[in-house]
Amino acid sequence: MFVDKAIIKVRAGNGGDGAVSFHREKFVAAGGPDGGDGGRGGSIVFRPDDGMNTLSDFRYQRKYAATHGENGQSNRKSGKSGQDCVIRVPRGTLIYDNETGRLMADMSGDEDFVAAKGGRGGWGNNHFATATRQVPRFSKPGVPGEEYELRLELKLLADVGLVGFPNVGKSTLISVVSEAKPEIANYHFTTITPVLGVVRPTAGVSYVMADIPGVIEGASEGVGLGHDFLRHVERCRLLVHVVDVSGSEGRDPIADFDTINEELQKFNAELASRPMIVAGNKCDLATDEQLETFAAEMAKRGYEYFPLMAPIAHGTQELALRCGTLLSQLPPIRRFEAEAPVLPSPEELKDHSVQIVNRDGIYFVEANWLFRVMRGIRFDDPDGLLYFERVLDGSGVIDALRAAGCGEGDTVSIYDFEFDFID
């Protein structure tokens, strides 16, 4: 079954807690703190897989979780890191944050994508020993792993997309010019899933052609199957518009051509400017007048036109060769750019509560809402640090630290981020 949409929940592993331990060994006096750090939690990793062409696996499994990091141990032994959860998806899958609608990744390349990062392990008490604090009896807990509800959408990777009304011969055309074997019959919606085929018109030239099913009038508004499959046209570099020039089903070929173009325009205005070749099929059923009228109209509109009789491969080789020539002049298949997370303004965070604990002069700040904000901040960027400072001030965290007794030069620890307090 072809499935090109899915919603899943993913949860990265939590970091392990740091250990509180003191070195004890015969003949070694005052061994000092030796609590090890917790292990990092496993991450949720997406990996493109050319062996998959559908999201049907996600109909049966909708929750994915990585393992937690283990807690630290004595003798400065760090806990074992959690194992990543690797999720394989078809190449061309788009990953969205379902809560915000943000595009997180386009799985069209070869690189993996970390959708949810595992939590960092907490520090053991050996990190907190100082000249004035020689027996720290506390450690840092592990940081929670990230959680998301994700929406997966598959947009097929194809160079050439075949569009047109049902039963105009798209399936026959792709079966003749490639090794694809779609179902072919003389009724509407024979093809109910996109079909991909590799076309090799000449030595050293090859490209992927896709038969996009179900485009009819009203497809952009959900009529027929077109609303489900029009998204697969978006990546195509070149469109081949297949038209029944004979009007064998009682429709006007030119009106059919205009209707399909209008649906492409309504669905995505960019598709209207995509390079297009017109293929007039079923020429053996058309009159000379019909052939001349349609060819003249396409020439008037500036489209390249190829008359076809697809079942006997008449004109199909010329069309395949011309597609290959045009593709060599066009930019590569479109990749969608991931969107940066939208960070809330500090004013939107004023009413959120925060918990502050003072442990031997280190002020630990905990707040679930603050952790979610920190996931989208780059702390190696000055603008990111400035934004974080505004968040702490505007949401009342700074005031809460002052109320807890935090003063100039004291250490503040917020999950895996530490800084000296400046009043």
Q: Are residues 181 and 314 in the same domain?
A: yes
Confidence of residue 56 (pLDDT cuts 50, 70, 90): confident
Instruction: Please say which residue of 155, 171, 193 terminates a domain.
Output: 155
Residue 64 to residues 45, 86, 209, 302: CA-CA distances in angstroms?
10, 9, 34, 52
> 171 and 189 in contact (C-beta within 8 Å)?
no
H runs (alpha helix) in 244-381 = 253-267, 288-301, 316-327, 368-374
Domains contained in the chain, number: 3
Indicate if 8 and 43 belong to the same structural domain. Answer: yes
Q: Which residue pairs, CB below 8 angstroms and at least 24 apart, start in 308-315?
A: 308/169, 308/173, 308/279, 308/280, 308/281, 308/282, 308/283, 309/281, 309/282, 309/283, 309/284, 310/169, 310/172, 310/173, 310/176, 310/281, 311/169, 311/172, 311/176, 313/176, 314/283, 315/279, 315/283
Distance CA 113, CA 88 (A): 11
pLDDT at 28: 65
∠ CA 233-162-338, nearest 5°, is: 15
Q: How confident is the model at residue 95 (pLDDT cuts 50, 70, 90)?
A: very high
Instruction: Over range 131-141, report the average pLDDT.
Output: 77
Domain that holds residue 2: 1-155
- pLDDT computed for residue 171 by the predictor: 87
Tell me, yes or no, whether 259 and 117 share the same domain: no
Which range, 88-97, 157-166, 191-200, 365-374, has the best average confidence (pLDDT)?
A: 88-97
* Residue after which a domain boundary falls, among 131, 155, 179: 155
Asked if residue 202 is part of any domain, the answer here is yes
Q: Is the pLDDT of residue 147 over 50?
A: yes
- Residue 280: is its pLDDT beyond 90? yes
Q: What is the pTM of this model?
A: 0.74
pLDDT for position 384: 78
* CATH code for position 269: 3.40.50.300
Q: Tell me, what's the pLDDT at 349?
A: 55
Least confident range of 54-58, 81-85, 212-216: 212-216
Q: What is the pLDDT of residue 344?
A: 63
pLDDT at 226 over 60: no
Distance CA 57, CA 159 (A): 26
The pLDDT of 254-262, averaged and rounded, is: 90
Pair 138, 173 in one domain: no
Q: What is the pLDDT of residues 154-208, one digit of tens each?
A: 888 889 999 888 888 888 999 999 887 765 545 444 445 678 889 999 988 899 9
pLDDT at position 219 is: 42
Q: Do 404 and 299 belong to one domain?
A: no
What stretch of H or E contains 397?
helix 397-403
Does a structural domain hold residue 334? no
Is residue 332 included in any domain, yes or no?
no
Residue with the bigger pLDDT between 371 and 283: it is 283
Q: Looking at the structure, do residues 78 and 142 belong to the same domain, yes or no?
A: yes
Q: How far apart are CA 261 and CA 215, in angstroms?
A: 10
* Region of residue 389 (left: phi > 0; alpha: psi -120 to 50; beta: else): alpha
Q: What is the pLDDT, as a whole number, of residue 323?
A: 95
Average pLDDT over residues 126-139: 77
Answer yes or no: is 222 within a domain: yes
Query: 264 in helix, strand or coil?
Result: helix
156 versus 94: which is more confidently predicted?
A: 94
Q: Is residue 336 part of a domain?
A: no
Helix, strand, or coil here: 209?
Answer: strand
Mean pLDDT of all residues in the chain?
A: 85
| 309 Cβ contact list (under 8 Å, min separation 6) | 281, 282, 283, 284, 315
Same domain, 316 and 420: no
Most confident of 29-38, 286-295, 372-381: 286-295
User: Domain for residue 275, yes or no?
Assistant: yes
Largest CA distance in the chain: 107
Q: For strand 411-414 and strand 362-366, is the pairing parallel, antiparallel, or unpaired?
A: parallel
| Domain end point (choices 124, 155, 186) | 155
pLDDT on residue 346: 59
Under 8 Å between Cβ of 15 and 99: no
> Which residues fall within 8 angstroms of residue 29, CB to CB, at 6 or more apart?
none
**Which tokens belong to 296?**
């003249």
Whether residues 105 and 187 fall in one domain:
no
In this prediction, residue 235 carries a pLDDT of 86
pLDDT score, position 218 = 47
Residue 89 within a domain = yes
Indicate whether 220 pLDDT > 50.
no
Query: Measured between alpha carbons, how far is residue 312 from residues 243, 281, 356 in Å?
Result: 17, 11, 78
Answer yes or no: do 211 and 246 share one domain.
yes
pLDDT score recorded for residue 12: 96
Three-state DSSP at 189 gives: coil
How far apart are alpha carbons 11 and 118 in whole angstroms? 8
The H or E element containing residue 202 is strand 195-202
Q: How far apart are CA 8 and CA 272, in angstroms?
A: 33
In what order do the strands lie in the sheet containing 205-211?
195-202, 205-211, 160-163, 238-244, 276-281, 304-307
pLDDT at residue 214 above 70? no
299 in a structural domain: yes
Tens-digit pLDDT profile for residues 62-77: 999 999 999 999 888 9
pLDDT at 417: 82
Give yes or no for a contact between 64 and 10, defined as CB atoms under 8 angstroms apart. Answer: yes
Q: How far apart are CA 39 and CA 184, in angstroms?
A: 57
Q: In the chain, pLDDT over 70 holds for what percent of residues?
A: 89
Q: Determine the average pLDDT of the residues in 353-362.
A: 83
